[in-house]
Amino acid sequence: MSRDISIYKTNPDISKISLPLLFVNPHLGYPLDKILRYIHTSPDIVLQPEIFPYGIKEYYWIHEGSPGKATWYALGSLQGGLYFFYTAYTHTTFDKDGHMDLWVSYRFDDLIQYSMDTFIYTIYIKDIQNITSNKLTSDLVNI
């Protein structure tokens, strides 16, 4: 199945991803080296510890999660020409039973192709379609 690898800049609400990002810290149980996942087709990347989440340049998409109900997702760019895809889930609280994954690549399409499974990709595309159609409708109303 072919995937849409376009970059959609949706201007998401950053507060929707703030809770899990608070825990990306060695002292809170989620050091960068423990959440970083590798994409075998991408060039190896060495990240400085402060690059994520402090070096986030722009968010393209955020999907808000909820403890015990839904996973948080964030897709965007980092300083230094890198792209990231981040997921976080917890049943109760991140300090007790949370889980996080972070993929980083110089190629945006690698994130779409290899770090998103079919379930996540479907959520991503639905969200992007809703956001872009709502923006188009809003733009038409303001003409």
**Residues 47, 32, 27, 54, CA torsion sign:** positive
Q: Is residue 19 part of a domain?
A: yes
Residue 98 lies in a domain: yes
Domain of 28 in residue numbering reads as 14-141
Q: How far apart are the first and last CA of the chain?
A: 37
In a domain, 9, yes or no: no
Identify residue 54 by its one-letter amino acid code: Y
Q: Does 5 reside within a domain?
A: no
Does 60 reside within a domain?
yes
> For the chain, what's the residue count?
143
pLDDT at 135: 62
Number of domains in the chain: 1
List the one residue out of 67, 74, 60, 94 whose CA is nearest residue 16.
Answer: 74
Answer whether residue 93 is part of any domain. Answer: yes
CA gap 75, 22 in Å, rounded: 17
Residues of the chain with pLDDT under 70: 1, 135-143
Residue 1 lies in a domain: no
Instruction: Kindly report the backbone phi and psi dihedral angles of residue 90, in degrees, each rounded to the nearest multiple of 5, phi listed first.
Output: -150, 145
Q: Kindly state whether residue 88 falls inside one of the protein's structural domains.
A: yes
Residue 139 is predicted with a pLDDT of: 45
Q: What is the C-alpha to C-alpha distance for residues 120 and 106, in angstroms, rounded to an integer?
A: 21
